[in-house]
Structure 1
């Protein structure tokens, strides 16, 4: 019949009114406000969960830092070429061989002194040999022996005192026993300074080309100079524009000497 309303035509208001009359309207709970006082209270008196999380984060941070340091240490050799690693191994083997020979010589001298057979003569010879070694190291006498001559040509005047110092240190690491730079004997008290194009040694200016004469095992010295990141790589970089020539020789003579200085502070221990 036309007066009957179908269920679909029932208004929403009538439907809601029929079953929910008098029901209370509910609202979603609101999150508690995070105030500075509450944050300060949590910091002063943390809960067990907060303390546990702090310990976990601390351990995790420590592990990450340790891993980064280990990775950095490994990268020192991980990025090197095979030829560079072979050079390092050759230098270590040469140093080990020299140390073994020195130990053998010292043990032989000790046996001669303890045997009692002409021990006074042996002691005198040993003292004289040691004196000559110290004189060479101190730079008070001329020296000769196998070695190399390094010539650094600096047309752009970009070589600095630090570069020359690095070259000398590399030669010492490679087993140099005597070093001369442009006629100046390099000893423990020698110092280099100056900016690009104004290199000085002991305060006196050095003029290019810089000639570094070194006495030692020629192969080890040359490899020490050509080692990646060493003298050749540093000086021949595009921003410097210098050139390095290395000459290996069976006999090198260093005639420059230096006068030892009386120490002001250090005294021998009795």
Structure 2
């Protein structure tokens, strides 16, 4: 007699070995709950992708026609200002290179240039058309970041001189949060603590500056979300009288013409 198994009938499945049963037991099985969760995740992912694409395409497409017109006007006015600066520089060049009074023209140009640099550096007072903006902050939530955004928006709109409180704002002006435990709310501007309400005087095109602060999603809306209110008054005569004390540079020095990086 033999204990060997007899031949399998045609179509019969082979007997499972222990290893085959173990692999089948470890194989993941999709339940109805898992399938439903997978479908929900797929739908959620599709919705996120659609939302992201719609957000990317939003931007200007969601603005009202009046807002688009204001933005276009601002862009055109900036282009006009740059074109006028180019024409002014070309006239100055012509005066310096033509005629017998070139020395006198050079002196006038140097004086005018020194005055312009003084305005940019904040070392001379400024006056002209512009706006006076007042920020009421009863909750004390307006911090340094809000002022950085405000100054940046004003500069983009062509502001030529800015004063916050009693501080002249220049390229190196620093905005910091009021020190903790000071017992008062406010913003530190170039080391001076300013408290609300804040007054901001700006010299530049009044309409362009006022429009820039009212752009949807811009400065006014950001301040309103902080519980603050912004009021803007345009005027043909705004005085920026605060001066910036210029310190001598510690590391920088004038480079000789034609000098290259790393050369002595």
With normalisation by structure 2, the TM-score equals: 0.73
What's the secondary structure of 1:86's corresponding residue?
A: helix
Matching residue within 15, 25, 28 for 2:10: 25
Question: Corresponding residue for 2:108?
Answer: 125
In the superposition, relative to structure 1, how do residues 85 and 28 fare at CA in structure 2: closer, same or farther (>3 Å)?
farther
Structure 2 matches for 1:1-270, cutoff 5 A?
24-27=9-12, 73-194=56-177, 197-237=185-225, 240-270=226-256
Residues 177 and 216, structure 1, Cα contact 8 Å, conserved in 2: yes
In structure 1, the gaps of 5 or more residues are: 1-21, 36-64
User: Are the counterparts in 2 of residues 154 and 209 from structure 1 also a CA contact under 8 Å?
Assistant: yes
SS of alignment partner, residue 213 of structure 1: strand
User: What is the rounded CA distance, in whole Å, between the counterparts of 1:74 and 1:267 in structure 2?
Assistant: 47
Normalised by the length of structure 1, the TM-score is: 0.72
Deviation at 1:27, TM superposition (A): 4.2
Any conservation in 1 of the 2:128–2:239 contact (CA below 8 Å)?
Answer: yes
- Report deviation, 1:74: 3.7
Residue 160 of structure 2 contacts residue 204 of structure 2 at CA under 8 Å; is this kept in 1? yes
RMSD: 2.6
Residue 139 of structure 1: CA displacement?
Answer: 0.3
C-alpha distance in 1 between matches for 2:105 and 2:246: 28
Mapped to 2, the partners of 1:78 and 1:265 lie a distance apart of 48
Deviations 1:144-190 (A, max 9, x none): 00000000011121211111121111111100000000110001111
Cα deviation code 1:67-101 (max 9, x no counterpart): 99986554332222322222221111111001111
| Bigger Rg, structure 1 or 2 | 1
